[in-house]
Amino acid sequence: MTAATLQAPAGGSRLGEALKSPAMLLVPALGFLAVVYLLPVIDLVHISLSGPTLLGYFERVFSVPLYWDSLVRTMQISLTVSCLCLVLGYPTALLIHRSTGIVKVLISAAIVLPYFIAILIRTYAWMVLLGRNGPINKMLVALGIVSEPAQLLFNRGSVLVAMTAVLLPLMVLTLYSSISRLDPGLVRAGRACGAGPVAVFWRVLLPLTFPGIGAGFLLVFVSALGFFITPTLLGGPGDQMFAMHITQQADFATSEGFLQALAVVLLIITLAVVAVAGRFLGFSFIWGGGKLTEAAAPSS
């Protein structure tokens, strides 16, 4: 029996073990993502660089005040909406966690079910609620708070309220997932040591839920970057976001190249935000473990 004959079964067994690896189950999904997402993104970047100069279209994006101001406004609105979702979502997630029975089911349904309604329908619902003849204005007039219907639409406030309502379920579900994984004994231990409810929250509960806070904030912020329907319908001329310009350029056949450059700019900003969050917080914080939890542990 030769050495080659002896080595053949070993090589075959290694190949068989590799094929039996659970990682092989990812191959179909990775192939699908490569065809559906990666190739179009590569084509998008290629077209955006096909101008008269290599970065000609990108220079136009940052040199025209309309697009630069819209980009800054988009970042500001996204950051504000993320903060509002965090302020409103944390108490809501905590309430769901501490509720039981039918109360917990009703609160969870009130948060989750609207998320399955199309954004356009929810935006039109806010237009009805905030309109001059809507129920909110009628209630304000009936209570004597205002003498005539107020202008609640077509301003920054209406955009923030509607976007917060749309993205709030993302924050609540992420925070609830983080809170529900905590050991209840930690809170009881804090109270047993003499800490009041406020001290337990600040020194025990809040630090341990930093992963959920970071993940929820990132999800809401990245999602808000791509909004354009809600700001277009509810906001004024000074409230339009960057994604709206992408949809407008898509209507012109001569905008090829510049349209792709706008999309690439928004894509780069999104990836940069995720990269910065992953660099300082650790990518594992998205599913609730890792660097962010380890960093918060000594301070508590």
pLDDT (tens digit per residue) in 226-270: 898 899 899 888 888 998 888 888 877 677 888 889 999 999 999
Would you give the distance in Å from CA 57 to the centre of its chain? 28
* pLDDT reported for residue 19: 66
Q: Which residue has the tokens 């070993």?
A: 10
Cα separation of the two ends of the chain: 67
Q: Which two tokens stand for residue 210?
A: 């930093």
Q: Are 288 and 178 in contact (CB under 8 A)?
A: yes
Q: What is the dihedral of CA 68, 70, 73, 79, to 10 degrees?
A: -90
Fold of 40-296: MetI-like fold (1.10.3720)
Question: Which tens digits make up the pLDDT trace of 77-107?
Answer: 999 999 999 999 999 999 998 888 899 899 9
Instruction: Say how far apart CA 225 and CA 157 lie, in whole Å.
Output: 17
50: pLDDT strictly greater than 60: yes
Q: Are 60 and 238 in contact (CB under 8 A)?
A: no
Percent of the chain with pLDDT over 90: 28
295: pLDDT strictly greater than 50: no
Instruction: Say how far apart CA 92 and CA 173 lie, in whole Å.
Output: 10
* pLDDT reported for residue 300: 41
* pLDDT reported for residue 170: 92
Q: Are 261 and 83 in contact (CB under 8 A)?
A: no
Instruction: Say how far apart CA 82 and CA 79 lie, in whole Å.
Output: 5
Lowest mean pLDDT among 20-24, 132-136, 165-169: 20-24
Q: Residues, the chain, total?
A: 300
Instruction: Say how far apart CA 81 and CA 164 lie, in whole Å.
Output: 6
Tell me what the pLDDT averaged over the chain comes to: 83
* pLDDT reported for residue 70: 93
123: pLDDT strictly greater than 50: yes
* pLDDT reported for residue 26: 81
* pLDDT reported for residue 298: 42
* pLDDT reported for residue 297: 47
- The closest of 93, 75, 126, 59 to 209, measured between CA atoms, is 93
Give the residue-averaged pLDDT of 43-61: 86
Q: Which two tokens stand for residue 135?
A: 């129920």
Question: Which tens digits make up the pLDDT trace of 187-196?
Answer: 778 777 777 7
Find the helix packing angle between 258-281 and 65-98, rounded to 10°: 40
* pLDDT reported for residue 207: 85
Q: Which two tokens stand for residue 114?
A: 């609207």
* pLDDT reported for residue 53: 82
pLDDT tier for residue 16 given thresholds of 50, 70 and 90? low
Question: Which tens digits make up the pLDDT trace of 155-182?
Answer: 899 999 999 999 999 999 999 988 888 8
